[in-house]
């Protein structure tokens, strides 16, 4: 399994240009991650969070703010993560706030945080660049 995952990376041909080589490697890693996620057949669901939690790329984070507000920390966006997404779902049917924070220097729709108080809402956070998150489903 590991050999299968490494094979596409080993097949890369270096150009001698550091920037081009790094970009080619990042593209190959991104493609391999997408292939592996496709093999899983579905997004992996994290355990329900009822207190502060960390979101992860390619995962659904169910959040239950029934007993009070919950803070969710987004991961830092590396160049290989651009275009990837994650989901945060209000699981408990509560209108207590779920506040999602970005890691500096990234912003969420131009701000450092995004708050939702909508019961049963599912938000998709997409890494648009290494410094910008976009929110869909709000």
What would the pLDDT profile of 24-57 be if each residue is shown by its tens digit? 676 666 666 655 555 555 556 667 777 889 999 9
Task: Identify whether residues 95 and 33 lie together within a single domain.
Answer: no
Task: Identify whether residues 91 and 50 lie together within a single domain.
Answer: yes
Q: Cα(47)–Cα(50) distance, rounded to whole angstroms? A: 10
Q: How many domains does the chain divide into?
A: 2
Q: What is the CATH number of the domain that holds 77?
A: 2.60.120.640
Task: Identify whether residues 68 and 106 lie together within a single domain.
Answer: yes
Please tell me whether residue 35 adopts helix, strand or coil conformation. helix
Q: Cα(135)–Cα(138) distance, rounded to whole angstroms? A: 7
Task: Identify whether residues 95 and 132 lie together within a single domain.
Answer: yes
Domain extent, residue 24, equals 2-40
pTM higher than 0.75, yes or no? no
60-104 pLDDT tens trace: 889 999 889 999 999 999 998 999 999 999 988 899 999 999 988
Task: Identify whether residues 58 and 93 lie together within a single domain.
Answer: yes
90 with 118: CB under 8 angstroms? yes
Task: Identify whether residues 88 and 111 lie together within a single domain.
Answer: yes
């Amino acid at each position: 399994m590991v050999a299968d995952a490494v094979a596409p990376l080993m097949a890369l041909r270096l150009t001698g240009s550091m920037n081009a080589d790094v970009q080619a490697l990042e593209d190959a890693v991104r493609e391999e991650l997408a292939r592996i996620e496709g093999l899983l057949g579905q997004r992996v669901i994290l355990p329900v969070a009822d207190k502060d939690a960390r979101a992860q790329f390619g995962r659904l984070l169910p959040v239950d703010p029934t007993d009070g507000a919950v803070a969710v920390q987004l991961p830092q966006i590396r160049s290989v993560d651009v275009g990837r997404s994650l989901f945060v779902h209000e699981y408990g049917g509560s209108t207590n706030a779920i506040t999602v924070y970005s890691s500096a220097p990234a912003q969420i729709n131009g701000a450092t945080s995004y708050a939702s108080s909508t019961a049963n809402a599912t938000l998709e956070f997409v890494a648009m660049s290494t410094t910008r998150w976009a929110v869909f489903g709000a």
